[in-house]
Amino acid sequence: MLALPTAQIKSPPASMGSARCLPDSAVLPIAALALLARRDRHGEAGCTLVALADAAHYFAQPSRWGLTGAPGRMLGGGYALYDLYETAEGWIAVAGLEGHFRDTLLAQFPGDGSERERLTTGFRTRRAVEWHAWAESVDLPIVAVREA
C-alpha cells in the first residue's frame, strides 16, 4: 500500500462519495485531490491508502497507450512539438500538444522544412532563457531546462 502523507482522515470528503465507481486507474489522482481539497477547505492534514498496484497501473498508462517508451513514440521524441531542443545557450523543453500551441509556435518559424527541422533551426537563434521568456509572453508551454 502507498500512504499519501498528511493525519488520519475520519471520513472522505463528500466529493469522494462516487470514487468507488471509478476505474482503478483513477483512484490515485482522485485520492490525492481529495486530500488537497480537505487541506484547503478545512486546514486539516489527511492520509489515505492506495494499493501500489493501483498507483503502478495509473502511472503506466502512457506506456500502455503507446505514447512513451520506445524512441519515436509521441511522448518519446516522435512528435516535434513535444521534445527537448538545443538553443544558442542551453536547452528548452517544448510541450505543444494542443493545436493552438502548435499553430502559435510554428508561426514563429515559417519555412519549407519539416516541423522538427524548423524548430531545431529556429531554437538555435536564441538562448534558452530568452525562449522561456518569449513563451511566457505568448502563453506557450516552453521552459528552459536547468542543469543539475
Please tell me the class of the 74-145 domain.
Answer: alpha beta
Per-residue pLDDT of the chain (148 residues; tens, 9 = 90+): 444 444 444 443 443 333 334 445 566 777 888 888 888 898 888 887 777 777 777 778 877 877 776 667 777 778 888 889 999 999 999 998 888 999 999 998 888 899 999 999 999 999 999 999 999 999 999 999 987 6
For the chain, domain boundaries: 2-59, 74-145
Distance CA 59, CA 5 (A): 18
Distance CA 133, CA 104 (A): 15
Per-residue model confidence (pLDDT) at position 25: 54
DSSP state of 127: B
Per-residue model confidence (pLDDT) at position 35: 86
3-state SS, residue 73: coil
